[in-house]
Chain A
Amino acid sequence: MNFIKRGFLGITRKKGKSLILLAVIFILGNLISGAISIQQATGNVETNIKDRLGTAATLELDHEAVEDLSEEEWLEIENIDIDLIKQIGALSYVKYFDYNTSTYLGSESIESYQGEETEDEVVMMGPSMDFKLNGINYAPVIDFEEQKGKLVDGRVFTQDEVDNGTSVAIISTKLAEKNDLNIGDTFTLENAVYTYDEETGEEDVVTSRDVVLEVIGLFEPQSIKEDIEVDSDTGMIDWMDIEYQNTVYVPNEIVASENRYHMEEYMKEDEEFAKMMEEEGDSFEYYTPMFYLNSPEDSEAFEEEVAPLLPEFYTVINATDQYDSIAGPMESMSKLAKYVLLVAVIATVLITGLVVLLFLRDRKRELGIYLSLGERRIRVVGQILIEVMVVAVIGITLSLFSGNLLAGQVSDMMMKANENQDEYYEEYIYFGDTQIDLTTEDVIDSYEVNLNSSYVLGFYGIGLLTILISTVIPLIYIVRLNPKKILM
C-alpha cells in the first residue's frame, strides 16, 4: 500500500470524481490541442511556403521612395555597380550570386518557338525580336542551379568564356529542335537598329550586325507547368514559357557589347539623343543582381546587413517577402490560435486548479491521516499527483486526437470562408525574372492539420505542465499544515 498504489486506488475507488476530472481535462485539452494543432500547421505552412518561394534576393529601386522624385532627381539616381554586387555576394548568407543584363534580338536564319497550339495564330507586328539574349556571370548558370531550367545536353559555360565574352550560347531543346540545331552548331541572331518615324509610324532598319553564337548546351524549362490547359488564367504562363524557350544564355559581355553597338549606332542617327547621352555620361550598362541565400531564414539578417551598403533609393527585395501577400488567411488563423492557446492555458490552470482544490478539500482529512502516520510530505504530494496526472494523461491523450480532428474541421471552415472573401490573393507571383507559380490556393492546400511528433510532444508538455501547476499549488497549501491543524 505504498503511495503509488494508493494513488491508483484513489482513481478507481473514487470513480465519479475521477470522471469529472477527466471530463474537465478532456474539454480543456481539446481547446489546447486544437490551438496547438492550428499553430503548428500554420507554422509549417510558413516554413514550406518560404522554402518553395526560395532564397532569392535582389536589389531594386524602392518604388515608394522614388515615386515623388522630379525628372532631374531621377537622373541622379546611381546604378548599382558590379563591385558592390560582388561585395554583397561575398557575405556569409549568400550561397551564390549572379548579375545579369539582357536584350532582345531577332533573326533571319532561325525561327523562334511559338508554342505547340498557337503556332499558326501568331501575327507578327513590326520587327520581330523574339530571342532574349540573357547575359550571365555565374558560369554554372543560376537558373539551372535553382531548377528553373535543366541542362539536358552539352555543358555550361567555363569561367574563361564568361570573363572573355566568348560567343557561346545555351539554348532550349525546343528552339534547337525547331531549327535543327545541335551541340557545336552555330546560329546567327541579328542586332538591328531601327528608326521610328513619328509621323508615319514606320520603323526602318538603319543598320544591323550579326551575332554568331555556338551552341554549347541545351536546356529544358523545369518550373513552369507545361501540362495545364490553356485558358484565360494560364495564358500568362504560356507566354512566359514561350519567352523562356526563346531565351539564349550567353556571357554578360556578349549582351553588353550588343547593347553598346545598338546605342552607338542609334546615337549616330539621333543627334539629340546622342547629345543627351553624352551630357549624362551614361554607360548603357545596367545589371540586375540576384543573390541566393543559404536558407530562407537568413532573409532578414541579409536585408539588415545589405541595406546600409546600398546607394540612396535602393532596397533589398527577398522572395520570402511575397509570403505576407499571399498568406492572409494563414496569418489570421495563426493569430487566433495564439489567443485561443493563451486563453485555454489560463482557463485550464484556473479551472483544473479549482476542481483539484475542491477535491482536495474533501480529502484534506485523508492527507492529514497520512501525515499523522509519519508519511513524508513529498510522497503525499506524489500520491495526489499520480491520481491527477494519470487522469490527465488519459484526458490529454483522448483530446489529442479529438482536438486535432476538431482543429482540422474548424480551420477548414475558416479557410473556405477566407478563400471566398479574398479573391485578391488568387494571383501569380513574379519575382524579378523569376516567376513563382504559387497562389493562396497553394498556401491553403499546404495547410494540413496532422499529428506529428513535435505537436504530440508540445501538447503533452503544455497540457501536463498546466495541470501539474494547477495541482501542486493547492496541494502545497494543504501539506504545509501540521497534522494537528488538519485532524484535531
Chain B
Amino acid sequence: MILEAKDLNYYYQDGEQRRYILKDTSVSFEKGKFYTILGQSGSGKTTLLSLLSALDSPHSGEVLFNEEDIKKIGYEKYRRNNVGIIFQSYNLIPTFTAVENVLVPMTITENEIPEDAKTVAYNLLDYIGIVKSKADRFVNKLSGGEQQRVAIARALATNVELILADEPTGNLDEEMEQEIIDIFKKLAHEHGKCVIVVTHSNEIALQSDQAFHLRKGALSSYE
C-alpha cells in the first residue's frame, strides 16, 4: 500500500451549517497500478485529489504515504519528495522553456538527482514525446497536448512513485487524450508507479486497473 486515505472529512461552513464535500471517505492505492476516480462536476473529485497531494488539508481524517501520515512528513516536504502532480490547465511557467520547467522540481526536491540534470530532463521529455528542438521552446509556443506532456515530464522529474493527475486530458482532443492515457498506463505497468487520475470520462475509467466513483462525498468501486 503506497497511499491510503482514512476517514477523510472536508466541508464548507455555510453559516451554522456544514456542507460536506467528503464525508468519512476512505480509500487505498497500490504501486504499479493505474487508478481513476470518476464523478460529476462538484462531486469532490478535485478536493479528494488536493488532499491526497497535500495541496490542502482535511478537517479530519488522515492520508498515509507508505503508512506514514503526510501531516507528520510535512505537506511541503511530501509534495517536494513524494508526489508528482499534473493539472488540467498544465500550470507550467510561461517564461521558461519546456526543459527549464522540467528542471524546476529537480532543484526543489531533496531526492537524489543525477548531476547532469539537464540531460535527464531532455531524456525525460523525449520519452514523453517532446523532442529536443521543442524542449528548448517556451511552453506557450507548444500545443495543449505538448504542454501536458511537459507537465507529465515535470511530475516524473523527481523520480517519485506517486503520480496524481486532475483531469489531465480535459483540454485535449480524443487522439491526444489516448496518447496521454497510454503514457500513464506505461508509467504504472512498466515503471511501477502508482498513477491516480481524476476524470469524468468513462472511457478513461474503463482503461484503468481500478476505478472509483465519488458521489455525495462517498467513494465506491466503479464497475
Contacts and interface: CB of A to CB of B under 8 A. Distances in A.
A485 B46 CA distance: 12
B28 interface: no
B79 interface: yes
A262 interface: no
Contacts of B103: 1
Interface in A1-33: 1-3, 6, 9-10, 13-14
Interface in B165-195: 166
Interface stretch (A103-111, A250-258, A345-353, A373-381): A373-381
B56 A484 contact: yes
Contacts of A487: 55, 87, 91
Nearest to A2: B107
A222 interface: no
Contacts of B85: 372-373
A483 B108 CA distance: 16
A10 B104 contact: no
Interface string A161-190: 000000000000000000000000000000
A431 to B, nearest CB: 69
Considering residues A10, A13, A482, A483, which has the most beta carbons from chain B within 10 angstroms of its beta carbon?
A483
Nearest to A10: B95
Nearest to B50: A484
B134 interface: no
Interface residues of A, number: 26
Contacts of A365: 91
B104 A6 contact: yes
A370 B95 CA distance: 14
A335 B94 CA distance: 49
Given A484-B50, A484-B55, A374 B87 contact: no
A488 interface: yes
Contacts of B46: 488
B107 A488 contact: no
Interface in B13-65: 46, 50, 53, 55-57
A372 B79 contact: yes
The 3 nearest A-B residue pairs measured at CB: A374-B80, A374-B79, A13-B95
Interface of A: 1-3, 6, 9-10, 13-14, 365-366, 368-377, 482-485, 487-488
